[in-house]
Amino acid sequence: MMDAMFPAAASEHAGRIDQMIDVVHYLMFAVFIAWGAFFVYVLMRFRARRNPKAHYVGVKSKASTYGEVAVAVVEGVLLLGFSIPIWAERVDQVPSESDSTVVRVVAQQFAWNVWYPGADGEFGAADVSLVDEATNPIGLDRDDPAGADDIWTVNQLHVPVHKATIVHLSSKDVIHSFNLPNMRIKQDAIPGISIPVWFEPNKTTAEIREATGNPDYVYEIACAQLCGNSHYSMRGFLTVHTEEEYQAWLDEEASYLTGGGEDDFFN
Amino acid sequence: MAEPVQASHAHEKHHDEQSFWRKFIFSTDHKVIGVQYSMTGLAFLLFGFALMMLMRWQLAYPGEPIPFVGSLFGDNRAPGGIMLPDFYNELGAMHGTIMVFLGVVPLAVGGFGNFVMPLQLGAPDMAFPRINMLSYWFLFLGGVTMFASFFLPNGAAGNGWTSYSPLADIALNGQSAWLIGMIFLITSSLLGAVNFITTAVQLRAPGLTWMRLPFFCWAQIVTAFLLLLAFPPLEAAGVLQLMDRIANTSFFIPEGLVVGGEVLERSGGGSPLLWQHLFWFLAHPEVYVLILPAMGIVAEVIANNSRKPLWGYRSLVYSLVFLGFMSFLVWAHHMFITGMGSVMSTFFQTTTMIISIPSVIILSALFISLWGGSIRFNTPMLFALGFLPMFGIGGLTGLPLGLSAADIPLHDTYYVIGHFHYVVAPGTLFALFAGIYYWFPKVTGRKMNEFLGKLHFWPSFVFMNGVFFPMLIQGLNGVSRRLADGGVTYDFAGDVTGLNVMMSVSAWCLALAQIPFIINFFMSIRNGEKAGRNPWNSTTLEWLAPSPAPHGNFDQPIVVKRGPYEYSVPGSDQDFVPQADLVKT
């Protein structure tokens, strides 16, 4: 019901979160309509002109207690049936890295640095002393053997469809929040801590374009935590590929490394 | 024999003829201090509202020059009248800070609590009149500090009213002034809280047992405990953040930060999340500081104007106390997406669902209190009745935010802004207006004008909803809060950013709707209809004192004989029986 308003859902767990928000709103509407109907009736029925003498006792019925118990029961169902299990899946059941696409995202004022381990599957070392905003924003050590083939992009996250993506999220400066509205993912990026967040996209960018009838539809990355004056424009893009397209994209990115060229971070 | 009598008479006379300064500025009379708090609070509410109206221009018409006043803000803030993002952030942070700490709290607690509670207790004054005066002047200093910070070279604080570290630690704006201002404001609240609790315990009139206490007093007592226990951690945190800013400490700064391409020269080792825990340990109880006095006012006005006792007085009181206690156990529901594990999130969302139950009980009891009444629709009652469904929306929209999984898409969106504004704007503010119209005769001896009152209520009710309801829709569409362009950068927000025009127009119309109130307020001080001791035929003790009440409050002994809401008692010849019998009229 409510999901007409949400950004188009495109991850495996999105449907359950949307369903849960629906159920909470059914409860909210039910309580509000009960209060509201009672309220309107009482205001008409017991206005001074119609009821010049008030009753000292008022309501004797225990109906409101049953209502309150019902609210408590529904809240219990929401907790035990929806929120706690969904949350546990989000934070406790992170899939194994070998079956997933693993990337690091390093947030900074005001961009998302996306860091891939490259063909060896291992992230290279990094150090703040190597940071150069133009040529090496993540401070990657290219002399480290594991780091030689690492790939980084700015504001461009590419992942394959139908496979879990694990993002190890951190920040260089202040707190940002990594918001993928279509994936129903939001996680603060906290300096000094690396936090894993995962999702399994189930619609490629091409498929969502078809589904929404909008040939320009893009999955966006938004910053959801005030991080300074350009917070409002800290926008990135998520592209969901088929597995083959994703490999082709990775190969293309890797070719820039061996080709001796600069990283192409505006592709 | 004649000598000492004369001397004591002379002393009394001297007492009455206090200098202007002693009587109105550095007064120790709880009523004068209450009025000082109220006027300060109202002035800051208007100022905070003005900040928001500027923001609403930018949200409705991002990047277009602000009309009329755009040239006043200079090139640092609005070159060519076009608002810069830093200016937007400054307005946002200061709007929140001012509305909460300098608007609602001074009015709801400092103003109404100070003025009304000793009268309702049958007390001559607060327990510590000089501490009372001191607490007002700390508030005043805090207000001056906050206001003056706008004139600093880099402007006032602009890191959200939540001032999250490390952004607030490294920001070049007036964050240090904000922290110093907060330390003054917190000191003020702590002194006030001690005073309120002592007064309620020690100075109740004979016969005023706890279960005969008006609900408003209960609300003030619970509020005072919240302030007393929740504010010290934030005061400490404020000092620590100030040290981070001026003494290069690293309480909230981890090592290895790179800011703007430069390695931050700090030892590191601190935790940004520590700030959030300390902040929300205050700021969640603070939400109840904003709402409990409002519930207290609404309960008084509803009992009085439905001409019947409050329904379920005891469960109201127990719910209130339980709510106050639980409010210390829910703070981290503001932090679900900081990387919280499932044990923590289970604990905090469970406590959050538990705390919703006493809120539902209180609101239901207030609705049910109307059943069987003989309802008078005067201005205080309209605002009190308006509070009920508006607070209902505010409370209910808290549910999806309090469940961690549902919070993922909604966190930090306009849904949150809509939610808490429904609680504090058409919620608390309506209750405060109800209180102003209701107790105005006790302060001035005159009633406010009913026609202007209704002209204030109805447009306010419509435009409040015009501002805040679309926020819930924007939030469900995923639009983030605190975006200096209202979200137009993002495609996914595109469908609903158009609502911003309607919301902003509503906000400006809401400002126009306050004009009848301002006229009414000042006009009625001199020209309002004269009110006797008890213009509303009310039962609680404040209405036994003369209007306006003199220094020392009561001109007759007060012995309380019955509960606070003895309206329409069967067999009584009039429809109200005051808590104590009136000797003189």
Answer yes or no: do A237 and A186 share one domain.
Answer: yes
Q: Which residues pair with A198 in a beta bridge?
A: A166
Per residue in B497-555, pLDDT (tens digit) is 999 999 999 999 999 999 999 999 999 999 999 999 999 999 999 999 999 999 999 99
Q: Is A266 among the domain residues?
A: no
Cβ atoms within 10 Å of A141's Cβ, excluding its own = 18
Q: Is A267 among the domain residues?
A: no
Answer yes or no: do A57 and A152 share one domain.
Answer: no
Q: Is the dihedral of CA B442, B443, B444, B446 positive or negative?
A: negative
Answer yes or no: do A23 and A145 share one domain.
Answer: no
Contact A234, A226 (CB under 8 A): no
Distance CA B247, CA B235 (A): 17
Contact B530, B548 (CB under 8 A): no
- Please give, rounded to a whole number of angstroms, the shortest distance from the CA of B180 to a CA of chain A: 21
Q: Which residues pair with A196 in a beta bridge?
A: A168
Answer yes or no: do A117 and A236 share one domain.
Answer: yes
From first to last of its 585 residues, chain B has per-residue pLDDT tens of 344 444 444 444 445 567 888 888 899 999 999 999 999 999 999 999 999 999 999 999 999 999 999 999 999 999 999 999 999 999 999 999 999 999 999 999 999 999 999 999 999 999 999 999 999 999 999 999 999 999 999 999 999 999 999 999 999 999 999 999 999 999 999 999 999 999 999 999 999 999 999 999 999 999 999 999 999 999 999 999 999 999 999 999 999 999 999 999 999 999 999 999 999 999 999 999 999 999 999 999 999 999 999 999 999 999 999 999 999 999 999 999 999 999 999 999 999 999 999 999 999 999 999 999 999 999 999 999 999 999 999 999 999 999 999 999 999 999 999 999 999 999 999 999 999 999 999 999 999 999 999 999 999 999 999 999 999 999 999 999 999 999 999 998 878 999 999 999 999 999 999 999 999 999 999 999 999 999 999 999 999 999 999 999 999 999 999 999 999 999 999 999 999 998 866
Answer yes or no: do A46 and A104 share one domain.
Answer: no
Per residue in A36-56, pLDDT (tens digit) is 999 999 999 999 999 999 999
Domain boundaries B28-254+266-544, corresponding CATH code: 1.20.210.10
Distance CA B518, CA B460 (A): 13
How much is the pLDDT for A75?
96
Per-window interface: A 98-157 vs B, CB < 8 A:
108-109, 128-129, 131-133, 139
Containing structural domain, residue A222: 97-258
B342 CB near a chain A CB, below 8 Å? yes
Distance CA A108, CA A105 (A): 10
Per residue in A210-222, pLDDT (tens digit) is 999 999 999 999 9
Residue A263 predicted with pLDDT over 90 = no
Interface test with B, best of A83, A91, A214, A220 (most B CBs within 10 A): A83
Q: Is A263 among the domain residues?
A: no
Per residue in A159-188, pLDDT (tens digit) is 999 999 999 999 999 999 999 999 999 999
Quick check: A191 and B254 CB within 8 A?
yes
Residue type, B331: W
**Which CATH number is A148's domain given?**
2.60.40.420
So what's the ipTM on this one? 0.95
State what percent of residues in chain A have pLDDT above 90: 92
- Please give, rounded to a whole number of angstroms, the shortest distance from the CA of A149 to a CA of chain B: 24
Quick check: A20 and B405 CB within 8 A?
yes
How much is the pLDDT for B17?
65
Distance CA B273, CA A191 (A): 10
How much is the pLDDT for B15?
52
Per-window interface: A 61-100 vs B, CB < 8 A:
64, 67-68, 71-72, 75-76, 78-79, 82-84, 86-88, 90-92
Answer yes or no: do A125 and A219 share one domain.
Answer: yes
Q: Is A64 among the domain residues?
A: yes
Q: Which among B267, B348, B352, B366 is positioned nearest to B308, based on CA atoms?
A: B366
From A92, A127, A145, give the residue that closes a domain.
A92
Per residue in B150-203, pLDDT (tens digit) is 999 999 999 999 999 999 999 999 999 999 999 999 999 999 999 999 999 999
From A33, A58, A92, give the residue that closes a domain.
A92
Distance CA A44, CA A129 (A): 73
For A66, residues 6+ apart whose C-beta sits below 8 A from its C-beta are: none
Distance CA B577, CA B565 (A): 8
How much is the pLDDT for B10?
41
Per residue in A186-197, pLDDT (tens digit) is 999 999 999 999
How many whole angstroms from its chain centre is CA B556? 34
From A46, A70, A92, give the residue that closes a domain.
A92
Residue B435: Cβ-neighbour burial (10 angstroms; 0-12, 13-18, 19+): buried
Interface test with A, best of B76, B167, B169, B488 (most A CBs within 10 A): B167
Answer yes or no: do A75 and A12 share one domain.
Answer: yes
Answer yes or no: do A84 and A101 share one domain.
Answer: no
How much is the pLDDT for B14?
47
> How many structural domains comprise chain A?
2
Residue B135: Cβ-neighbour burial (10 angstroms; 0-12, 13-18, 19+): buried
> Can you give the residue ranges of every domain in chain B?
28-254+266-544
Answer yes or no: do A32 and A13 share one domain.
Answer: yes
Answer yes or no: do A80 and A25 share one domain.
Answer: yes
Quick check: A232 and B485 CB within 8 A?
yes
How much is the pLDDT for B309?
97
Residue A48: Cβ-neighbour burial (10 angstroms; 0-12, 13-18, 19+): middle
**Which CATH number is A59's domain given?**
1.10.287.90
Q: Is A29 among the domain residues?
A: yes
Rounded to two decimals, what is the model's pTM? Answer: 0.95
Residue A265 predicted with pLDDT over 60 = no
